[in-house]
């Protein structure tokens, strides 16, 4: 602490003690205790708190609230009129199928594994999922392949 903060607080404490002792006429122990408290409070009032680091940060606009679950959003990505599947559901199914194939030791990016992959999941399914126009029946075939690659406890 620097003298410019300590000296005024000591002066406040002495003045408070003299006021309490001679003007208000309290016991000396009480006068000293209250004077010490007044000095400490004056000292603490002079302490500068660091500025909030977020005070000058630019405001980031919040994204609009998205209602519904991920399953509901994926269901809306299926076009019931044309039968095309949107990128959201195609990407999710493709990721799960890739993970299940990796469990079997197959890499979808390795061309030497393509024949074995077609045997496990069905001919042309991976290329249909990787293409730009994935249809609903491709998603259904992929979900069936996912179930076959990792059967549940009831199916075992």
Phi, psi at residue 81, to the nearest 5°?
-75, -50
Query: How many domains does the structure of the chain reveal?
Result: 2
Q: Per-residue pLDDT tens for 75-122? A: 778 888 888 988 888 999 999 999 999 988 999 889 899 899 999 999
Residue 56 lies in a domain: no
Q: Are residues 74 and 145 in the same domain?
A: yes
pLDDT digit string, tens, across residues 4-50? 888 889 999 999 999 999 999 999 999 999 999 999 999 888 777 77
Residue 9 lies in a domain: yes
- Residue at 63 is within a domain: no
The whole-angstrom separation of Cα 43 and Cα 58 is: 35
- The answer to pTM > 0.75 is no
13 exposure class (CB count in 10 Å sphere: 0-12, 13-18, 19+)? buried
- Judgement on whether residues 7 and 75 belong to the same structural domain of the protein: no
Range of the domain at 145: 70-149
Same domain, 80 and 113: yes
């Amino acid at each position: 602490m620097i003298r410019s903060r300590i000296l005024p607080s000591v002066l406040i404490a002495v003045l408070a003690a003299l006021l309490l002792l001679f003007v208000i006429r309290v016991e000396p122990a009480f006068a000293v205790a209250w004077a010490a408290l007044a000095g400490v409070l004056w000292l603490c009032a002079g302490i500068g708190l660091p500025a909030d680091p977020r005070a000058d940060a630019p405001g980031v606009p919040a994204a609009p609230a998205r209602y519904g679950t991920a399953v509901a959003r994926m269901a809306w990505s299926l076009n019931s009129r044309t039968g095309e599947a949107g990128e959201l559901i195609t990407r999710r199914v493709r990721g799960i199928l890739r993970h299940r194939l990796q469990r079997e030791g197959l890499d979808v990016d390795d061309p030497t594994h393509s024949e074995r992959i077609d045997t496990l999941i069905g001919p042309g399914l991976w290329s249909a999922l990787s293409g730009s126009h994935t249809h609903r029946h491709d998603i259904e075939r992929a979900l069936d392949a996912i179930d076959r690659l990792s059967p549940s406890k009831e199916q075992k």
